[in-house]
Amino acid sequence: MTRLIVQVHPNARRNEIKGLVEDVLHISIAAPPVEGKANRELIEFLSGLLGIGKSNITIEKGATSRRKVIVIEGVDRARIVALLGLD
């Protein structure tokens, strides 16, 4: 299990990883922050990049905030960093 702090930037042109700044992963999400759309898009985007099922990614804290704590099951932190191109 890996926990990541994620800063979400909703209403972007496209979904993309912006980078890792002071141990916070910045991610742009195309969906608006309405009725959980950005959260669902965030989980779908990360599951596609990491090659894991959506059920392996949960939002532990910050479901209604732009800063979230994400829990990822089945992939260690080093692998996540490599897959997201943060190394």
What are the Cα distances from residue 51, in Å, to 8, 10, 34, 70, 83? 20, 22, 26, 16, 9
- pLDDT tens digits along 54-85: 999 999 999 999 999 999 999 999 999 898 88
Distance CA 49, CA 44 (A): 9
- pLDDT tens digits along 38-56: 999 999 999 999 999 999 9
| Whether the model pTM is above 0.85 | yes
The topology (CATH level 3) of 2-83 is Conserved Hypothetical Protein Mth637; Chain: A; (3.30.1200)
Q: Where are the domains of the chain?
A: 2-83
